């Protein structure tokens, strides 16, 4: 039982350090795959730590264009040709900025965490850097 408690405390400590660095370091962008793997491992932690907070990440553009509601969006993956890990929805006024984005391009983005599923993390109010 003590080993289980120790492992949980270790996981929480690592999660806290990771979440603090992810949110606090304005110049650092975390690899999309790393954030996604942590989210799938512990969805409740991600929801508690990041709900309505801005996350900065870097990855490869898998899709650009309207989402299912017609809003400008970019889907990010870790490798070209792989399924997307993040759906980043931009403000409607940012549609013209999609012209400068290419599928397969490495991109730095930030967005406000909204939801996580087994397949994808959704972020709103995204910005392209």
Q: What pLDDT score does 23 carry?
A: 46
Q: What pLDDT score does 7 carry?
A: 45
β-pair partners for 54: 112
Q: What pLDDT score does 49 carry?
A: 74
Whether this prediction's pTM lies above 0.75 is answered by no
Q: What pLDDT score does 75 carry?
A: 96
Q: What pLDDT score does 22 carry?
A: 46
Q: What pLDDT score does 37 carry?
A: 75
CA dist 44 and 24 (Å) reads 21
Helix (H), strand (E), coil (C) string for the chain = CHHHHHHHHHHHHHHHHHHHHHHHCCCCCEEHHHHHHHHHHCHHHHHHHHCCCEEEEEEEEEEEEECCCCCEEEEEECCCCCCCCEEEECCHHHHHHHHHCCCCCEEEEEEEEEEECCCCEEEEEEEEC
Q: What pLDDT score does 34 carry?
A: 77
For residue 9, give Cα distances in angstroms to 4, 5, 15, 19: 9, 6, 10, 15
Low-confidence ranges of the chain (pLDDT < 70): 1-27, 40, 43, 45-47
């Amino acid at each position: 039982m003590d080993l289980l408690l120790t492992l949980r405390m270790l996981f929480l400590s690592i999660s806290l350090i990771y979440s603090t660095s992810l949110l606090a370091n304005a110049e650092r962008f975390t690899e999309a795959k790393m954030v996604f793997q942590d989210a799938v491992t512990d969805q409740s932690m991600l929801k508690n730590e990041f709900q309505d907070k801005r996350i900065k990440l870097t990855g490869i553009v898998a899709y650009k264009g309207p989402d299912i509601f017609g809003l400008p969006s970019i889907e990010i993956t870790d490798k070209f040709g792989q399924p997307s890990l993040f759906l980043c929805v931009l403000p409607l006024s940012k549609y013209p900025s999609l012209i400068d984005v290419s599928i397969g391009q490495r991109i730095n983005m930030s967005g406000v965490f909204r939801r996580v599923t087994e397949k994808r993390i959704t972020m709103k109010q995204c910005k392209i850097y």
